Chain A
Amino acid sequence: MNAVAHKLCMLGDFGVGKTSLVARFVHSTFSEKYLTTVGVKVDSKEVALPGRAPMKLVVWDIAGRSQLDSLNMTYLRGASALLLVADGTRERSLHAALNLLMQSRTLLPDATIALAVNKLDLVEQWEVAPAALAELRRSLPVHETSARSGAGVEAAFADIATRLAQ
């Protein structure tokens, strides 16, 4: 039997680590080198959910933008989940992620959403204050992640998968 497939889009400013998070999640790899994504790269992974049939997450790693352009909109169509990504060392990228969230809401009003604040391994250099995330948590699930160390990555995707399954 084929696992149910869901389309999950990674959205966030450039360089925040979308590609790296997908690489960590799908292939358990990480590269220090930055190679910007053009267009979209699609990967998929089956996620085992306790007490449920496995689910296939089809992950769309979309080129980073701080604003939704028409190309991004094209990619978003048909998505049932959004993983917004920000880089903890760049406060601006958090604003970008929230901005993208607002803009994509009209297009995907029912999408399952989570925010990953990435580069937790660099927490000493973070500009995003813990209180800011505490505040955000009131309105959406937030995960601190590190694509580099792997911390929180599995949990972020599992959170989305679990909520998609409900």
Chain B
Amino acid sequence: MTSPSFPSVPSRVSTYLCELFWQRVRALLLTFDAGWRLRDIRGDAIYYGVDGSNPGQSVQMLRDLFIGLSIDEPQDLPFVELPNGTSAHLHLIPDRDAFHVLLLDAAAERDRQRATQQLGNEQALASQAKSKAIGQLKQIRTELERQHAKLEEAHALKNALIATLSHEFRTPLTSIFGYLQLADRRAHGDASLHEALHAVRRNATYLFTLAENLLEYGRSDGAAPLLNPTPVDLDALAADLDAMFRPLAEEKGLDFRVSLTIDDVEQPVFDEIRLRQILVNLLSNAVRYTRHGEIAAEIVWRGGELSAVVSDTGIGIAAAHRDTVFMPFNRGGHAGRKGAGLGLSIVRRMVDQMRGTLAFESEVGRGSAFRVTLPCGRERAAAHADDAIAPRFWLQGRSILVADDDTDIAHLLEALLGDLGFRVRVVGDAQSAVVEAIAGRPDVLLIDVELSGLSGNAAVYKLRSRGYKGRIVTLSATATSEAREAALRAGADHYLTKPLNVEQFVHVMQQAASAGWNGGGDGSVGA
């Protein structure tokens, strides 16, 4: 290697240049022997934070900088920040059995570069944050639009509901008033007063049924209602239907007939309110959509099965509407007439609940016939009794790990879960929850989000990022959809909010416990 030479200048100039350069770069030169023993130190030691009289620490620092590098070759480390905050370009220059370490000032250059870099990085971060925020805003907007549409739909539904309500209430109310008038006129101790008052009661029952319909409709799908099977007096039921609908039918000039055939000696057992609701809904539709002809209800109790056919000679249902007649507020159901309302959708739902079948035949302009068959509710009654204890039965022995740092809540959860049949283990912080969950593989991990220290979400994330496959339920005091989504994104299966809704809590725990570790994978987890 040829060493670079200065152009031939007077030696005074070259000395001057040398001094100038030495000053400008604030050079510090340290000379070491091969064992890193300091031989000589020249230049601005103080500027670099090197204590010339006791350089031990600085030497160690410099030594650390060249770990893994050869001291037999020149080394060049630009922009090294020193403990005192200055920045230096470091050079190692081998020199036979010794070497030199040369420090040149880089602070000004570093500051300039930092200013540009800082600006660039901050802009990049800001633009990333901006595009993320825009993305989120877009999402929020879509969500808002979706909710808006849902609200409009709900609004329309509500209006339709009210319209239906008033519509459906009008007829029986008319009847009630009619009978009341009658009762008024014959008020003096006549036996028919008795009958009139009966009629009032029946119609009140009818109203009650309608109200039940609405309630039934409003009930969420998730919470399946309990059936209440009791022995049913079919004669009384048939008589009630007759008394309820005959006046309505006759008022419209229709023939009306209720027939009852009882072949089984055994008494039928059904959820009577639902059974009545089914028949009342079918008959009230029949009366509403029939202008002339007849309406008939044939009820048969045979072979442990109740069948009922309600037929009319009304306007009928077009083939195009066959699939939609059982939908709530379907308008086209009966040849485009308004006010079809809830009746058939409720019938459908109840028949399903009672594990029966529902079918119909119809021809536009000729009439319709709806056939319902219901299996006797006796076994259902028994099965139902089993249902009630079943969850507890299969939660028995399931294990759950509870992580909550509020001891009162932890105790409450422990008691509740113990009652459900869980084997409960409680820990007080998120990190222990991670360790215990991986070690103990509980069927369910129930973890509070707002834990001090590591948050519940972070713990869930850590578990999932280690391939943890068990069910995780998070519990939080924040009831916003963002909080919920964040928890689910971190890997929770369910999100519950405080204060606890016990029914929902039990439901979720049952769901989580029954899913268990069947979520897939081999379930093995690395720490």
CB within 8 Å of B: which residues of A?
A: 5-7, 14-15, 34-42, 44, 56, 58, 63-64, 71, 74-75, 77-80, 90, 92, 120-121, 123-126, 129-134, 137, 142, 144, 146, 149, 151
Nearest chain B CB to A126's CB is how many angstroms away?
7
Nearest chain B CB to A157's CB is how many angstroms away?
16
Interface status of B364 (Cβ within 8 A of chain A): no
Interface status of B466 (Cβ within 8 A of chain A): yes
A64 near B121 with CB under 8 A, answer yes
Bound together, the chains give a CA A80 to CA B66 distance in angstroms of 13
Bound together, the chains give a CA A125 to CA B352 distance in angstroms of 44
Interface status of B122 (Cβ within 8 A of chain A): yes
B458 near A120 with CB under 8 A, answer yes
Bound together, the chains give a CA A144 to CA B80 distance in angstroms of 29
B80 near A137 with CB under 8 A, answer no
Nearest chain A CB to B264's CB is how many angstroms away?
59
Interface status of B453 (Cβ within 8 A of chain A): yes
Bound together, the chains give a CA A79 to CA B66 distance in angstroms of 10
Bound together, the chains give a CA A151 to CA B459 distance in angstroms of 11
A39 near B67 with CB under 8 A, answer no
Nearest A residue to B525 by beta-carbon distance?
A134
Nearest chain B CB to A45's CB is how many angstroms away?
11
For the A-B complex, the count of residue pairs with Cβ-Cβ distances under 8 Å equals: 118
26 of the cross-chain contacts (CB-CB < 8 Å) are: A5-B67, A38-B81, A39-B87, A39-B106, A41-B81, A42-B64, A42-B65, A58-B64, A58-B65, A64-B121, A71-B78, A74-B77, A75-B77, A77-B69, A80-B68, A123-B490, A124-B486, A130-B461, A130-B464, A130-B490, A134-B464, A137-B465, A137-B526, A144-B458, A144-B462, A149-B453
A44 touching B64 in the complex, CB below 8 Å, given contacts A92-B128, A124-B457: yes
B467 near A137 with CB under 8 A, answer yes
Bound together, the chains give a CA A58 to CA B463 distance in angstroms of 31
Interface string of B443-465 (1 = CB under 8 A from A): 00000000001110110011111
Q: Chain A interface: which of B38-46, B111-119, B215-223, B377-385?
A: B111-119
Residues of A within 8 A of B457 (CB): 123-124
Interface string of B181-201 (1 = CB under 8 A from A): 000000000000000000000
Q: Which of B67, B76, B467 contacts A74 (CB 8 A)?
A: B76
Nearest chain A CB to B486's CB is how many angstroms away?
4
A123 near B461 with CB under 8 A, answer yes
Interface centre among B64, B78, B453, B490 (most CB of A within 10 A): B64
Q: Which of B69, B76, B124 contacts A78 (CB 8 A)?
A: B69
